[in-house]
Amino acid sequence: AWQRNQPRSFSDKNGFEQEVVRHVETTLARSVFNCDEIAAYSATSLAFRDRLITDWNKTQQRQTYRDTKRVYYLSLEFLMGRALDNAMLNVGLKDAAKDGLQELGFRIEDVIKQEHDAALGNGGLGRLAACFLDSLATLNFPAWGYGLRYRYGIFKQEIIDGYQVEVPDYWLDFNPWEFPRHDVTVDIQFFGHVNKSTKADGKTISSWEGGEIVQAVAYDVPIPGYATPTTNNLRLWSSKASGGEFDFQKFNSGDYESSVADQQRAETISAVLYPNDNLERGKELRLKQQYFWVAASLYDIVRRFKKSKRSWKEFPDQIAIQLNDTHPTLAIVELQRILIDVEGLEWDVAWNIVTNTFGYTNHTVLPEALEKWPVGLVQHLLPRHLQIIYDINLFFLQTVEKAFPKDRDILRRVSIIEESQPKMVRMAYLAIVGSHKVNGVAELHSDLIRATIFKDFVEIYGSDKFTNVTNGITPRRWLHQANPRLSELIATKCGGHGFLKDLTLLNKLEKHAGDKDFRREWAEIKYANKVRLAKHIKDTTGVTVNPAALFDVQVKRIHEYKRQQLNIFGVIHRYLTLKAMTPEERKKQLARVSIFGGKAAPGYWMAKQIIHLVNSVGAVVNNDEEIGDLLKVIFLEDYNVSKAEIICPASDISEHISTAGTEASGTSNMKFVLNGGLIIGTCDGANIEITREVGESNIFLFGNLAEDVEDLRHAHTYGSHSIDADLEKVFLEIEKGTFGTPHDFGAMIGAVRSHGDYYLVSDDFHSYIETHHLVDAAYRNQDEWIAKCITSVARMGFFTSDRCINEYAEEIWNVEPLVV
């Protein structure tokens, strides 16, 4: 008899084991007696995937049936990391899987480690998108993510002779978490020309014709919420030549090679994630990626909307689209094009729909990260879109002119088209004009964009259009999954694991900060986490570090504004100070391990020099017998999400030391504090709000304030600029050749000494060193240190991405959860 092939489910250890064995024997076609860790990982993932499918189908059916408003989060980056551990925890069956795997002869940690990170992002912006998906599902919001299915994620970093080497990250060999939807495809047009025609009623309509077509194929990834059946969808587009495998005309006429070449050219679009973080390079292929992804996503969204047979004016009541930075800004133009050219709506009616649909999140004030595209390039690739951009700009400038008739300069300043040579399309301005809300990602950052880069727009639209939503992180991955023992300990004081869904419940910990036994257990867990990281350090670098030393961590993308150079100069200063001591004095010093990690954009030469200096200092310090355990300098290769899950729980102090006013928010600062580490930081980004929550006595702040940066820079350039005396000693030591060929580091020193010290390294150096002395002193009093850590964790409730998503839902999207 015919049987419906139900996705199999299980709810306990035995059921899990049966499913694993079934997948090993059938799906993988292997024998259970010949099952290695990779096969165990594959079968475990397939078993959990089957479980997710049921919930996923139900969620999608319910959302379609109820037809309530949905959120679409458009992001070129989703830095997901591993999926298996997360899936097991979210469905509440990790313990069952652990026992089941043990009976089959495997340790669950080893099985989890087999999974390749899904590394479809650079850093903070991409990881934020991943945390948001987790919160959206956990809070039962009807929401989809839309992104690109890159064949290569962010490159793998190898350190060879102290230098970064990039290795391609081919990750799709076996990916059980994606479902190809070969039936969900969209034809995407590029190039061509615009045809104008006049209809009988005298209306002119434009149509975009000719050019070439590339096909977008959907791949769906289930996003399970924590302790809820809601399972949302992340749809990633992959590019492929249209018209099947080959161009058959060429194929039959014997032009086999060029047919293959066409195919490859089409596949190039979704081939690789651009590895620049906060650094715009203006590559044509990137603009192609942006349009390809945006057009496919909008086609999909509009198709779904049309099925509901509602009138167009209801579009913004049914759909909210959030733009993760300016990367998807073309969506604004594309929706306007669909509405006027394809659906025949009047310009004003269409524009009203568009602006009520979109929200735009800004993630940076750095000028080098603001996207601009040459008008000529847009014209060539997307001729109709350029016309629409010009029309949007024209109507916008007309309203500005009416409102500010006396201000001649404002039109030039706010124009979407920059009248430069060549002319440029300013994507951030287009995003503002086409959205109903614009938000920054931390209070200081939102204040800064209102006061600086978007000041004119605040004048034009009023301040209500500009808002703040301070970033957050998911406590499921960043506490429960990364630090299971701490999560269990917290649960004993917070009435179970409810805090994972309502992070403010952490405040119940506060009254236990003085409890001796609790502190001891807390300290034991931190120590165990440090032992685990020490082992990772030993395995990957060969260096032995003492887990009893103070672990000082700075892991994030390498960028001058994040000031890893300040950190390493500080480390050299510490080394010189230790060297100058007598052996007796040295014995009294606190042992430290300085841990760095992070990738440099392949074309960012200065960032690569910083990596080289860290490694060169490590090579000297780590082999200095006089120093021994007192100081170790480690550069951890290939920092990524799964490494962060080992590193964050093991930190005593982490560094968030950007030049004030440059780091929009930062999110790793939140991860470290949530894992019971303290931070040393500048008054920048979310550090300021973290300070407000945890209290000034529980954070080590230093350095100049954002409001003083401009004057200091001015003084460097036009006044005299004297370098801090201790920093100068560090420079002289580098120049003596203590850390290898001094020439290698000439540019780094020159940037501070002779090129205006744009990032204020010298201005902040003294304060930085002094503050590190305070850290040492505080760490000596372990009882009080642990109390600070516990108190800080107790006060971190605000920084969950759940709070953040609820704010977006209320203030920007106007969507409600679909209660299960």
The residue whose two tokens read 């929009």 is 664
Residue 307 a catalytic site member = no
* Assigned token pair, 552: 């000082």
Residue 228 a catalytic site member = no
**Residue with the closest Cβ to ligand 26Y?**
124
- Catalytic pick among 450, 671, 716, 795: 671
Count of CB atoms within 10 A of residue 536's CB? 15
Query: Cβ distance 381 to 287 under 8 Å?
Result: yes
| Nearest approach, Cβ of residue 448 and ligand 26Y (Å) | 12
Residue 662's SS3 state is: coil
**Which residues form the interface with ligand 26Y (CB under 6 A)?**
122-125, 128, 276-280, 363-364, 369, 371, 441, 471, 663-667, 685
> What is the DSSP-derived secondary structure letter of residue 27?
I
Residue 196 a catalytic site member = no
| Nearest approach, Cβ of residue 410 and ligand 26Y (Å) | 26
| Nearest approach, Cβ of residue 604 and ligand 26Y (Å) | 11
- Catalytic pick among 127, 556, 612, 643: 556
| Nearest approach, Cβ of residue 662 and ligand 26Y (Å) | 8
* Assigned token pair, 573: 């200063």
Smaller CB separation from ligand 26Y, 123 or 359: 123
| Nearest approach, Cβ of residue 464 and ligand 26Y (Å) | 22
The residue whose two tokens read 């009248």 is 419
Which residues, at least 6 apart from 540, have a Cβ–Cβ distance to it below 8 Å? 636, 637
Paired sense of beta strands 437-440 and 424-426, if any: unpaired
CA distance 130 to 113: 20
* Assigned token pair, 415: 């124009």
Residue 729 a catalytic site member = no
Smaller CB separation from ligand 26Y, 96 or 269: 269
Please choose, from the candidates 552, 800, 589, the residue with its C-alpha nearest in 3D space to the C-alpha of residue 679.
Answer: 552
| Nearest approach, Cβ of residue 584 and ligand 26Y (Å) | 44
CA distance 478 to 800: 10
| Nearest approach, Cβ of residue 143 and ligand 26Y (Å) | 18
Smaller CB separation from ligand 26Y, 440 or 570: 440
Smaller CB separation from ligand 26Y, 211 or 603: 603
Residue 363 a catalytic site member = yes
Smaller CB separation from ligand 26Y, 262 or 684: 684
- Catalytic pick among 557, 612, 656, 788: 557
Which residues, at least 6 apart from 495, have a Cβ–Cβ distance to it below 8 Å? 505, 508
- Catalytic pick among 562, 574, 592, 772: 562
Smaller CB separation from ligand 26Y, 593 or 600: 600
Query: For the residues of 365-417, what is the DSSP string, one character each?
Result: --GGGS-EEEHHHHHHH-HHHHHHHHHHHHHHHHHHHHH-TT-SHHHHHH-SE
Smaller CB separation from ligand 26Y, 124 or 153: 124
Rg (CA), the chain: 28
Residue 519 a catalytic site member = no
Count of CB atoms within 10 A of residue 492's CB? 11
| Nearest approach, Cβ of residue 663 and ligand 26Y (Å) | 5
Please choose, from the candidates 153, 151, 85, 148, the residue with its C-alpha nearest in 3D space to the C-alpha of residue 121.
Answer: 153
Smaller CB separation from ligand 26Y, 75 or 762: 75
Which residues, at least 6 apart from 564, have a Cβ–Cβ distance to it below 8 Å? 554, 558, 596, 598, 610, 614
The residue whose two tokens read 């979210």 is 90
Query: For the residues of 64-124, what is the DSSP string, one character each?
Result: HHHT--EEEEE-S-EEEE-SHHHHHHHTT-HHHHHHHHHHTT--HHHHHTTSPPEEE--SH
The residue whose two tokens read 């990881």 is 127
Smaller CB separation from ligand 26Y, 122 or 609: 122
- Catalytic pick among 363, 384, 526, 559: 363
Query: For the residues of 218-250, what is the DSSP string, one character each?
Result: EEEEEEEPTTSS-EEEEEEEEEEESSSSS-HHH
| Nearest approach, Cβ of residue 685 and ligand 26Y (Å) | 5
**Active site residues per annotation:** 363, 556-557, 562, 667, 671
